[in-house]
Chain A
Amino acid sequence: QKEVEQNSGPLSVPEGAIASLNCTYSDRGSQSFFWYRQYSGKSPELIMFIYSNGDKEDGRFTAQLNKASQYVSLLIRDSQPSDSATYLCAVVRPGGGGNKLTFGTGTQLKVEL
């Protein structure tokens, strides 16, 4: 079992719809969770982080964390073609020093006109 799992996609949504991206993690002690957006040929860009159970909203983005079920999700409202990218989920696992992140392999999102 991978430590952080994401569906590779592509996930296709029409412009204006809600895109829902999911991530599961294996280590129940994980505390901190991050979503990065990566355009093709570019570096990952941090868009959301969440540390507590529940929802965290920032503009069109909402991160949801459910520690009991060991999943974290990212909702993108009013999806735009510019949201087309690969979204990476990352987790800080317990016991490691220096805030080491473990990444999933990413979900490719395509927003269609």
Chain B
Amino acid sequence: DAGITQSPRHKVTETGTPVTLRCHQTENHRYMYWYRQDPGHGLRLIHYSYGVKDTDKGEVSDGYSVSRSKTEDFLLTLESATSSQTSVYFCAISESSGGLEQYFGPGTRLTVT
């Protein structure tokens, strides 16, 4: 357990509404990541952060924004949710010592109706 929690764990929302998912870590890790997992596509990187207020895009960033105002929290916002964003969202961290290994949180299942 890398001390990662995600909230909410499940959410159903309507098309066009904004949604924010939260990732919280307790161990002061520098790097944090947001992935989505869909059948047939595997895990795909949405955005990542390499420090407070330092973020960058991954391969599927359109329609998503992120913020990191504190080391422990990394927020993912769907600005206007669409049905194509129905997915399972995972947060991950990698340790501040520079290790490349990533450890995942429990995930959030999001359904956009």
Contact = CB atoms under 8 A, between A and B. Distances in A.
Contact of B90 (A43, A49, A98): A43
B31 A99 contact: yes
Chain A at the B interface: SS class: strand
Contacts of A92: 100
B50 A98 contact: yes
Among B56, B104, B107, the most chain A Cβ lie within 10 Å of the Cβ of: B104
- Chain A contact-residue range equals 20 to 34
A17 interface: no
Interface string B66-86: 000000000000000000000
Contacts of B101: 34, 46, 49
Nearest to B102: A101
A101 B105 contact: no
A103 B90 CA distance: 13
A19 interface: no
Interface residues of B, number: 23
A99 B102 contact: yes
A57 B30 CA distance: 29
Chain B at the A interface: SS class: strand
Interface string B92-113: 0010000011111111000000
A100 B42 contact: no
Contact of A103 (B31, B42, B50, B56): B42
Contacts of B40: 105
A63 interface: no
B102 A46 contact: yes
B100 to A, nearest CB: 5
B104 A98 contact: no
B43 A44 contact: yes
A43 B102 contact: no
